[in-house]
Structure 1
Amino acid sequence: MAGPLTGIKVLDLSRILAGPWSTQVLADYGAEVWKIERPNTGDDTRSWGPPFISGENGQNPKDSAYYLTANRGKKSFTIDFTTAKGQQLIHQLVQQADILVENYKVGGLAKYQLDYASIKNINPKVIYCSITGFGQDGPYAQQAGYDAMIQAMGGLMSITGEQEGLPGEGPQRVGVAVADLMTGMYAVSGILAALYHREQTGAGQQLDIALLDSMVAMLANQGSNYLVSGNTPKPMGTAHPNIVPYQVFAVQDGHILLAVGNDQQFKKCCDVMGCPELALSEKFATNSQRVANREVLVATVSKYLLTQKLDDWLAKFNQVQVPCSPINTLDRVFDDPQVKHRQMQFNLPHPSAGSVPMVANPVKFSATPIDYKLAPPQLGEHNAELDTLINGECRK
C-alpha cells in the first residue's frame, strides 16, 4: 500500500545527520528522495567508522554503520554542482521536485545558483528547507555548527551529567546526537506544514531551521523552569528537577529506574517497598512536598530498594503499575520482547552486503503503513536512472 507521501519528490542536498535524518523520514513516509552526493567521496558519514558493513564474498562496500542510520529509502546520484553541467542537472531536477533540503553554510549555494532565490525562479512551488548551525541571520550565522558544540552552547550539557560533588561530575554530552536528530524532526514537521500550506495557496516557501534554535526549544521544562524561577538548573544525574522519586536507584544486583509520576503511584510504591507510612507523611504526601524534601526521601527509598534484587522489584512494581525499568544495554534493548513485537529492527536487502540491519521508523500508520524498499544506497548507485529521470520518463 502506498505511503502517505507517495508522489512527493525530494531533492536532498544535505549530508551528515540533521538533513539526511529528515529526508529519511520523508522517504519512510513514501516520498521519492534523490540524494545528491559528491563524486568519489559522497556523504561524509560514509567514512565515519568503524564499524563498516561487510560485503559478500570478502567485498567491502566501505559504508559505515553511521551512514546506514540516516539514508535508507533514497536514490544516490553523484553530481558535481560546482560545475556548470552539475548545476544544470540540479536545476532540471528542481523542476520536478516538491521539496529541497540543504545544510550548507549561509550563502554557500548562491555562487552555484542553488540558493533559494535561484531555485524559486525555476520552481516557485518548491519547499526549500535550509538547515544550519545558527540560522540564516544573526551574529553567528556564518559559523559552522556541530552537534556537540550545540549541546554545549544550547545549555544541554550544563544540565546533563552527575550532580556536583559526586564522582563523575562535570558536563556530559548526551550519548546520541540529539541536537541533530531533533533539528531533523523539526525540519520534517515544518516541511509537512509547508506542504499543507502549498495545497491551500499553491505557493512554496523557504524554511530556516537552526540547530541552536532547536536545542533551545527542546530544553522544554528545564528552559521553562529557568524563565519562571530565575534559577539556573544544574546537572542532577538521573534525577528529575520536578518529580520525586524519578531516578536510578541501586538494588542488590544492579540498578532500577523508578519513574513515580503522581501521588497515587507513590502510595503504591511505598506499599510495595513495605513502608506505607512514607506516603502519609506530611513531608512526602504530595509531589511538591517530595521535591522540597528530595534528599531525605531519596536516601530513605535507596535503603529499601537495596534489600532485594532487580527482577524481584520489577515484578512487584509492574504488578501494581508503578513505572519502572531496568537499565538495558543495547543487546538487551533489541532482544526485548516488546521491541521485537513492535518490529523495531529489520533487515533490508543490499546489493553488496547481502542485507543490512535497520532500526524502524516508530510511526505506525493504520491506513498507509510504511513499506521499506531501498537500503541506504551505495555511492552513485542510481546514476543510470538520472537521464531517464530528467527526461521525465522515470516516475518511480
Structure 2
Amino acid sequence: TGKGQKISVSMMDSSLPFLSLYGGIYGATGKNPEGGNELLSGKLPNYNVYQTKEGRWVALGALEDMFFKTFLRQTGLDKHLEELPAEEKNFSKWKEILTTYFSTKTFEDLNVLFENQDSCLTPVKTIEEVIKDPVFQESGMVIEKKHPDYGDYFQFGAPFSFSETPVTYRLDPP
C-alpha cells in the first residue's frame, strides 16, 4: 500500500492479558481474587513453588493428574497416589508432603527432573542464570553492549521482531 503505520506496544497494556483468569473470577463473583488463595496462584499443591534445601526455589506445574503422577513416580512419592490433590481436603496434606520433599533436595538433586518435561518441574532461575541461558542468548533477548563511559553491560532485547526491519538499539542508557 505504500503506507506505514505506528506500532505502539505498552508494557502495562501487554501485561494485562496475563490477568485474564483473575479478571474472569472478579467478573463472575464481584470479589477480588486473593493472591496465594486461587487455584493457579498458590492454592494447588501440584501447581506451586517450593524451596529447596539450599534456599533456592522450584516451580511445580503438574496441573493434570497424568503429569503429577509422572512427577510422583520420578521422585519416589508415588506411595501417596491413592489421594491425589484434586480435592481441596487433600491440599494441605500434599503441600506438607511436597514442602518436606523439596526441603531435603538440592538443585543438583533435582536436575534429572528439570530435564524431563513430563515432570513439569522447573528451576526458578536467578537473573545471572537467565542472562546466561542459551535460549535467551540465541533469541537475542539478552544483548551484551559496551557503554563508552561505564564499560560492559547487558540489556534485555525486544520481544518482537519484524520480517523486514531488524530491531536496532541505538542509544546507551544515561
* Mapping of residues 111-260 of structure 1, within 5 Å: 181-183=11-13, 185=14, 219-229=19-29, 231-236=31-36, 240=41, 243-254=44-55, 255-260=57-62
String of CA shifts for 1:336-383, please: whole Å, max 9, x gaps: 222222221225688888987442222356xx165133513899xxxx
Matched residues in 2 for 1:377 and 1:253: separation? 37
User: Bigger radius of gyration, 1 or 2?
Assistant: 1
TM-score, structure 1 as length reference: 0.36
Shift of the 299–378 alpha-carbon distance from structure 1 to 2, 3 Å rule, reads closer
**Secondary structure of residue in 1 paired with 2:167:** coil
Q: Which amino acid aligns with 1:269?
A: F
C-alpha distance in structure 2 between counterparts of 1:370 and 1:268, whole Å: 44
Indicate the residue corresponding to 2:166 in structure 1: 371
Q: 1:259-311 deviations in whole A, cap 9, x for unaligned?
A: 11211110011112212133332xx264xx2x453222111111122222112
Q: For residues 176-214 of structure 1, what are the alpha-carbon distances to aligned partners after superposition, in whole Å with 9 as ceiling and x for unaligned? A: xxxx6132x4xxxxxxxxxxxxxxxxxxxxxxxxxxxx8
Distance 1:299 1:312 in 2: 19
Tell me the TM-score normalized by structure 2.
0.73
Q: Counting helix residues as a fraction of each chain, which structure ranks higher?
A: 2
- The whole-number CA distance in structure 1 between the counterparts of 2:5 and 2:27 is 41
Q: Secondary structure at the match of 2:21?
A: helix
Question: Per-residue deviation at 1:243?
Answer: 4.5
Structure 1 residue corresponding to 2:130, chosen from 325, 333, 340: 333
- Provide the secondary structure at the position in 1 that maps to 2:33: coil
Structure 2: stretches of 5+ with no match in the other structure: none
User: Counterparts of 1:372 and 1:363 in 2: how far apart (Å)?
Assistant: 8
- The SS at the match of 1:362 is coil
Q: CA separation of 1:236/1:312 partners in 2, compared to 1, >3 Å: closer, same or farther?
A: same
Equivalent position to 1:8, from 4, 10, 22 = 4
Aligned mates of 1:369, 1:315 — CA distance in 2: 41
How do residues 225-374 of structure 1 correspond to structure 2 at under 5 angstroms?
225-229=25-29, 231-236=31-36, 240=41, 243-254=44-55, 255-281=57-83, 284=84, 286=86, 289=87, 291-319=88-116, 321-347=118-144, 357-363=154-160, 368=163, 370-374=165-169
Which amino acid letter does the alignment assign opposite residue 219 of structure 1?
A: L
CA distance in 1, matches of 2:48, 2:113: 18
Q: Percent identity between the aligned chains?
A: 19
CA distance in 2, matches of 1:325, 1:378: 33
Supply the RMSD in Å over aligned alpha carbons: 3.7
Q: Judging changes above 3 Å, is the alpha-carbon distance between structure 1 residues 369 and 242 closer, same or farther for their aligned structure 2 residues? A: farther
